[in-house]
Amino acid sequence: MSNQLRRIAVIGGSRIPFCRSNSIYANKTNLDMLSASIQGLVDRFGLDGEQIDEVVAGAVTSHSKDWNLAREALLSTSLSPLTPGITLQQACGTSLQSAMMIGAKIATGQIDCGIAAGADTTSDPPITFGRKFAQRLVKAGAARSGKQRMQAFKGFRPSELKPVLPANGEPRTGMSMGQHCERMVREWNIPREAQDQLAMESHRKAARAYDEGVFDELVMPWGGVTRDNNIRADSNIEKLGKLRTVFSKSPDATLTAGNSTPLTDGAAAVLLASEEWAAAHDLPVQAWLTASRTSAVDFVNDEGLLMAPTVAVSEMLQRTGLSLQDFDYYEIHEAFAAQVLCTLAAWESEDYCRERLGLDAALGSIDRSKMNIHGSSLAVGHPFAATGARIVGNLAQIIANAGSGRGLISVCTAGGMGVAAILEKD
Amino acid sequence: MSNPQFTHWRLDYDLDQVCWLTLDRAGESSNSLSREVMLELVEIVTELENNHPRGLVLQSGKNKSFIVGADVREFDQVSSVAEAEGFIREVHDVFDRVEALPFPTAVIIEGYCLGGGLELALCFDYRIAANIDQTRLGFPEVRLGIYPGFGGSARSTRQIGGFQAMQIMLTGRMLRAHQAKGLGLVDQLVGPHGGLRWAARRAVLSGKKSRKPGLVARLSNSGTARKFLAGQMRKQTAAKANPAHYPAPFELIDAWEAFGNDPRKMLNEEAVRIAQLINGDTSQGLRRVFRLMEGLKTNGKDSGFKARRVHVIGAGVMGGDIAAWCVLQGLEVTLQDREMKYIEPALKRARKLFARRLKTPDRIAGAVSRLIPDVNGEGAARADVIIEAIFENLEAKQTLFQSLETRAKPGAILATNTSAIPLKEIAAVLENPKRLIGLHFFNPVAKMPLVEVVYDSSTEPEEIDRGSAFCNQINRFPLPVLSSPGFLVNRVLAQYMLKAFQIHRERGIAKEAIDAAAEQFGMPMGPVELADTVGLDVGLGVMNTLGGSDAAADAEVLKSYVDQGKLGKKSGEGFYKWKKGRAEKDRSAAEDINLESLGKELLQPYFEECQACLADEIVKDMDAVDAGMIFGTGFAPFRGGPLHYLEQINKSPEGQEHE
């Protein structure tokens, strides 16, 4: 390996259409969807039988039997079985983080190509027994005699059979993401109308993107579905305004089903490579991955749970010497419309930027017309681990179609982390 | 262990001394049991009998396709009953030897496992199937005028009981993997992310054997049960197929009734009966139908055209059903009409079709999401195929296509479903008239597999290919037809129906008799019932265009019906009264009439018009005429097509007498 760092090429992405949970993908598993999205990449770029240096992928809502998800998923595709699969998970940042790690290995010359992917389904939750009953089963399994087996069930109560569903919230705070976001809304004073407006725009932009054929290369029909079924082309402020709030009964509550992402099933994948590998395989480079940063905030001690991207982006800009305005595109994952608006407000706030980010001045405003130009998670949906790869593939395609440009990616995750990256092309 | 090289098979021995036998037929994209393949199998079995491996696993070397059956093309080379019987007994012998191999055997089934392929699989101790969408098991032999003759009738009845096995063989229906497992045809399912190879290895190393059929299944093979069930089966089959025209299923029922509890006797019956059937007219006719179908499917095969989105304009009976069918094939379809209220009925009908065909809620929901109502016609700009199915008015179509031409994608197919208006006239207003083709579907779209791909002298040949490729993509059979009144199918049918009306009007012969005569000949439906089904208003339109002066009197009759609102099936009354989708017929009216000679009279104009179409070069050749009439009207398939039938009777001494 040489001391020279190489450029990281994003060849392009592929995903299956996303569906609201318990709708059309109700019977599909993470394994089904993840292998379908990787196969989509194989079909798009002619990688049949090809050995990829690494597939790095994961799922947030995962069954224990899927402990080797990435490897098992790729074995069900037509990639060479000599391809290793690494299962990685960082909540909603999963597939963006995978892309970043693959990128780093490409840059250092350790690998020449890699696929970053992610899948999630909340229609197929891993439901288990509670710890007490599970322990009894372990003891019974280890028992050598009938008497010992009986001993394992001493003191058994039927209530122990109550199933444990995966919790959709922060283990440490006992609050859901939405409840945390309501707190952020109070801190940053984000009006309901602004949230609904952002949601509406996301739906309209996504619908228009489908109509213009922008997603034709990115979204491969699968499971009988040809487009994300959450998108509402006719989304409007009046309808959104009528929805009741879902995370709080307080009259000040603002988050609704319309301005929060729905529970979604889906998967996405993206192919990264070195310049040489791309050339050798006759594949054009859509964009270069030139910077990335992961950050975390102290949400346990009252920092906003979903504010970490403000830190990640700030640190990344400092290291690259770019300003917040030096971008043609912004892909900001819409976990909630409110969270996006809090992020933008934070960057515009002198106080926040000086005190929290340690900067001399506010980072400033972004040109909203450059943000999520084809819609984002509020419209297309958010299968947790898939969103990173979706956004990378999306942005790379936008830059490739324009011929050149620079885009900023910002993704917030559960556990108070943030992941940011820059894609660009001259 | 020796590892001799075969052309179509491969033997590999692994670490455990298990023999992996792979069938990968040379020069073919799918595996079928040709004579060459079977001869090599004999050698392989001899080798295995002399050198026992630890176990044997059979698998296919074709991607997601096991074995589709015997090689149908070879059936035609069989020149005598004796030769056929000899070949069948040879296959029985080698299959018996496979079954008798004294070590564990297992078979891996992925994709199509039909006919002879399933029969071979039934000789193995343990059957493992891939539970994927492409896997299908079944016995389609009745569709070719025979029944399973490689031991299938003996082994399937023994394995899963007579009742279930007979159902599968009589209907020719294809089972999915989990259905086959439920019946006991298959012993183990492996999911899409499972390891077939390892499951097979485990099965062989632990000597797994198929489960014996349960009590009920075994009882259905007993003498008393067989007698009763055979009677039921005869009744049910006769309701669908005339024994005189389709002898094979009845031969199977007879064989099973007599010998169903004795596999060896069933094998003997196969050899004797199928050898007869294969040389019979019906099997020859049906094999011809199979070849005609394959022939139609080659149209457009060189075109790489593939559609993702279709835009249909006109949500009426045809437009709505065309849209629904395309959605069923996986495409995204935008359906346009003037207002939402005209599109609603089509959406409702579509949902019923999806529920019937797709069964599971998620697949139905997927289909519903792919059928998009589009009042503003926005889908036209994004579609790969645009199909116009509005009312038959030249100006309206011209205006529409002029507008479409400006909006459509450069590579999109522009097609009209018109039955009555010449292609040239619609195309006249276009900038590029060479681009327009006709895609003429038949009613009901979901049941009639034929599409007439209409072109005229100026049409760009590439567009005809692309249109044909699209038809194949949506699992319809494309038949290129020159633009001319009635194209092929309606032109022939018009003369056929006209003759029927004339006979009815001039000689007062009851409509039931006319229909019965046609059905006795082998038509699925008589001409009067057909007219009611198509719609007397449609029939009147066709008559006015195609009938000529001879038709004036009959056109008057039709007009009087139409004026009274008697449009046929769709309005509840036409020539017949219709109730619950069935015509109410007075069967007694068909007595005392020589149906055979009446049938010949009725069909004569049908045949003559077919010959005229051939002479006018409306379609490529005789096969195209026959294919069109079989798949577009259901012309008695067992007769192999109208022109083929004429050829046969002219050859036979009986036919020559008539000359």
Task: List pLDDT tens digits, range B171-220.
Answer: 999 999 999 999 999 999 999 998 999 999 999 999 999 988 888 888 88
C-beta of residue B74 within 8 angstroms of C-beta of residue B35: yes
Residue B654 has pLDDT above 60, yes or no: no
**Active-site hit among B311, B440, B504, B644:** B440
Distance CA B233, CA B239 (A): 10
Contact of B385 with B310, CB cutoff 8 Å: yes
How far is the C-alpha of A34 from the C-alpha of A75, rounded, in Å?
A: 11
- A412 noted as active-site residue: yes
- Tell which B residues from 315 to 344 touch A, by Cβ distance under 8 Å: 330, 332
Alpha carbons B643 and A84: distance in angstroms, whole number: 61
The length of chain B is 659
**Catalytic residue from among B405, B452, B519, B573:** B452
Who among B192, B367, B378 is closest to A211 (CB)? B378
Given a contact cutoff of 8 angstroms between Cβ atoms, the answer to whether B437 and B480 are in contact is no
Chain mean position to CA B432: 37
Spatial distance between the Cα atoms of B282 and B638, rounded to a whole number of angstroms: 5
Cβ atoms of A379 and A227 within 8 Å: the answer is no
Is the pLDDT confidence value at B652 over 90? no
Q: What strands, in cross-sheet order, belong to the sheet with B188-190?
A: B9-13, B18-23, B55-60, B105-109, B126-130, B188-190
ipTM score for this prediction: 0.85
Mean pLDDT, residues B380-404 taken together? 95
Model pLDDT, residue B522: 86
Beta pairing partners, B454:
B438, B481
Q: What is the largest CA-CA distance in chain A?
A: 75
Q: Which residues contact B576 (CB under 8 A, 6 or more apart)?
A: B511, B528, B529, B532, B583, B584, B585
Which band of pLDDT confidence, cut at 50, 70 and 90, is reported for residue B658? very low
- Partners of residue B174 on adjacent β-strands: B138
Q: How far apart are CA B512 and CA B492, in angstroms?
A: 21
B657 pLDDT band, cuts 50/70/90, is very low
Number of H helices, E strands in chain B: 29, 19
Q: Is A221 close to B362, i.e. CB distance below 8 A?
A: no
Average model confidence (pLDDT) across chain B: 92
Question: How does residue B659 score in pLDDT terms, banded at 50, 70 and 90?
Answer: very low
From the list A27, A75, A211, which residue is nearest B362 (CB)?
Answer: A27
Q: Which of B50-59, B200-209, B410-419, B516-525 has the lowest mean pLDDT?
A: B516-525
Name B312's bridge partners: B335, B387
Nearest CA in chain A to B331: A226
Residue A229 to residue B363, Cβ atoms within 8 A:
no
| Residue contact B330–A27, C-beta within 8 A | no
User: Does residue B646 have a pLDDT over 70?
Assistant: yes
Tokens representing A383?
A: 């299968």
Task: Please give the single-letter amino acid code of residue A238.
Answer: E
CA nearest B309 in A: which residue?
A: A226
Q: Which helix (H) or strand (E) holds B371?
A: strand B371-373
pLDDT at B362: 87
User: Which position has the token pair 């090289």?
Assistant: B5
Q: How confident is the model at residue B34 (pLDDT cuts 50, 70, 90)?
A: very high
CB contact under 8 A, A224 and B382: no
The predicted-structure confidence for A343-377, as pLDDT tens digits, reads as follows 999 999 999 999 999 999 999 999 999 999 999 99
* Chain B residues within an 8 Å CB radius of A32: 192-193
pTM for the full predicted model: 0.89
Catalytic residue among A19, A92, A113, A353: A92
Question: Residue B280 pLDDT more than 80?
Answer: yes
Rounded to whole angstroms, the Cα distance separating A305 from A416 reads 5
- Cβ atoms within 10 Å, residue A74: 27
Interface test with B, best of A22, A226, A230, A231 (most B CBs within 10 A): A226
| Candidates B192, B367, B382; nearest CB to A211 | B382
The answer to whether the Cβ–Cβ distance between B193 and A72 falls below 8 Å is yes
User: Residue type at B116?
Assistant: G
Name the pLDDT band for B653 (thresholds 50, 70, 90).
low
Structure-block tokens of residue B48 = 């295995």
**pLDDT for position B468:** 97
Q: Which residues, in sequence order, are CB contacts of A116 under 8 Å at separation 6+?
A: A56, A57, A95, A96, A98, A99, A101, A102, A269, A270, A272, A388, A389, A392
pLDDT of residue B3: 56
Dihedral angle, C-alpha A87, A89, A95, A97, nearest 10 °: -110
Active site residue B658: no
Question: Could you read off the pLDDT of B118-138 as tens digits, one per residue?
Answer: 999 999 999 999 999 999 999
Nearest Cα neighbor of A11 from A215, A288, A253, A217 is A288
Q: Is the pLDDT of residue B1 over 70?
A: no
* Distances, alpha carbon B268 to alpha carbons A69, B85, B247, in Å: 53, 10, 18
Q: Say which amino acid occupies B229.
A: L
B361 contacts on A by Cβ (under 8 Å): 26
Mutation to test the B interface, candidates A20, A24, A44, most B Cβ within 10 Å: A24
A224/B360 CB distance under 8 A:
no
With an 8 Å Cβ cutoff, is B369 touching chain A?
Answer: yes
Decide if B308 touches A, using CB distance below 8 A.
yes
For residue range A287-304, list pLDDT tens digits in order.
Answer: 999 999 999 999 999 899
Indicate the residue of A27, A76, A224 with minimum beta-carbon distance to B193: A76
Q: Which residue has the tokens 């439901």?
A: A127
Q: Across all residues in chain A, what is the average pLDDT?
A: 95
Calpha distance B307→B386 (Å, rounded):
10
A-B C-beta contacts closer than 8 Å? 45
CB A116 within 8 A of CB A392: yes
Strand order through the sheet with B136-138: B112-114, B136-138, B174-175
Helix residue ranges, H only, B270-305: 275-279, 281-297
Q: Do B360 and A226 touch (CB under 8 A)?
A: no
The total number of residues shown for chain A amounts to 426
B575 CA: distance to closest CA in chain A (Å): 43
The partner residue sitting opposite B365, judged by closest CB among A23, A32, A221, is A23
Q: Which of the 8 DSSP states describes residue A235?
A: -
Pairwise CA distance, residues B501 & B492, whole Å: 15
Tell me if chain A has a CB within 8 Å of the CB of B370: yes
Q: Which residues have C-beta within 8 Å of that of residue B12, sequence separation ≥ 6?
A: B3, B19, B20, B22
Task: Give B375 to chain A, closest Cα distance, Å.
Answer: 14
Query: Looking at this protein, which amino acid is placed at residue A285?
Result: V
Q: Determine the 3-state secondary structure of A264 from DSSP.
A: strand
Q: Using the predicted structure, report yes or no on whether residue B565 has a pLDDT greater than 90.
A: no
Nearest residue of B to residue A28, measured between CA atoms: B362
Q: Contact, B189 vs B125, CB < 8 A?
A: no
The bridge status of strand B577-579 relative to strand B582-584 is antiparallel
What's the average model confidence in pLDDT over B63-68? 96
The bridge status of strand B332-336 relative to strand A113-120 is unpaired
| Statement: residue A126 has pLDDT above 90 | no
Instruction: Return the minimum-mean-pLDDT range out of A161-170, A413-422, B4-13, B399-408.
Output: A161-170
Provide the 3-class DSSP secondary structure of residue A253: coil
Lowest-confidence range among A350-354, A405-409, B378-382, B533-537?
Answer: B533-537
The pLDDT assigned to B533 comes to 84
Could you tell me the CA-to-CA distances from B507 to A184, B279, B494, B503, B591 in Å, in that order? 90, 40, 20, 5, 16
List, as one string, the DSSP characters of B516-570.
HHHHHHT-SS-HHHHHHHH-HHHHHHHHHHH--GGGHHHHHHHHHHHHTT--BGG
- What does each C-alpha distance from A145 to A138, A140, A142, A153, B337 come to in angstroms? 14, 9, 9, 13, 75
- Chain B residues close to A25, C-beta within 8 Å: 362
- SS3 of B579, please? strand
- Could you give the 3-state DSSP secondary structure of residue B175? strand
CA distance A52 to B92: 48
Contacts of A24 in chain B (CB under 8 A): 362, 365-366, 369
Instruction: Locate B135 and state its tokens.
Output: 């896997």
B264 pLDDT tier (thresholds 50, 70, 90): very high
Given a cut of 50, whether residue B656 has pLDDT beyond it is: no
CB-CB neighbours of B230 under 10 Å: 21
Q: Do the Cβ atoms of B362 and A229 come within 8 Å?
A: no
A 10 A CB-CB count for B114 gives 22
User: Contact B600/B515 with Cβ under 8 angstroms?
Assistant: no
d(CA A383, CA A34): 11
Mean pLDDT of A222-240: 94
* pLDDT level of residue A331 (50, 70, 90 thresholds): very high
Q: Assess whether pLDDT exceeds 90 at residue B556.
A: no
Chain A hits for B332, CB-CB cut-off 8 Å, are 221, 226-227
Gap between the Cα atoms of A183 and B382, Å rounded:
44
Instruction: Report d(CA A155, CA A158) in Å as an integer.
Output: 10
Average the pLDDT over B373-395 and give the result. 95
Task: Find chain B residues with C-beta within 8 A of A224's C-beta.
Answer: 330, 362-363, 366-367, 369-370
B440 is catalytic: yes
Residue in B with minimal Cα distance to A66 = B193
- Whether B452 is catalytic: yes
Q: Does B359 touch chain A (CB under 8 A)?
A: no
Q: B553 falls in which pLDDT band (50, 70, 90)?
A: confident
Q: Which residues of B175-184 are buried (b: 16+ CB within 10 A; e: fewer)?
A: bbbebbbebb
Q: How far is CA A143 from CA A33, A418, B494, in A?
A: 40, 47, 83
List pLDDT tens digits, range B309-340: 999 999 998 999 999 999 999 999 999 999 99
Contact A23 B378 (CB under 8 A): no
The proportion of chain B whose per-residue pLDDT surpasses 90, expressed as a percent, equals 74
How many of the other CB atoms lie within 10 Å of CB of A149?
A: 15
- B-chain residue closest to A71, CA distance: B193
Place of tokens 């011809």: B288
The enclosing H or E element of A73 equals helix A69-75
The letter for the amino acid at B304 is G
Could you count the other beta carbons within 10 Å of the beta carbon of residue A276? 12
Residue percentage of chain B with pLDDT more than 70? 98
Q: What is the pLDDT averaged over residues A241-265? A: 94
B436-441 and B450-455 as β-strands: parallel, antiparallel, unpaired?
A: antiparallel
Selecting from B330, B365, B378 the residue whose C-beta is nearest the C-beta of A24 gives: B365
Q: Which residues does chain A have within 8 Å of residue B378's beta carbon, measured at their own beta carbons? A: 211
Percentage of chain A with pLDDT > 70? Answer: 99
Q: Which of chain A's residues have a Cβ under 8 Å away from the Cβ of B365? A: 23-24
Interface of A to B at Cβ within 8 Å reads 23-27, 31-32, 35, 72, 75-76, 211, 213, 216, 221, 223-227, 229
Q: Which of A180-184, B469-473, B519-523 has the lowest mean pLDDT?
A: B519-523
Instruction: For residue A267, give how far its alpha carbon lies from the nearest alpha carbon of chain B (Å).
Output: 17
Nearest chain B residue to A209 by CA distance is: B382
* B100 confidence band (pLDDT: 50, 70, 90): very high
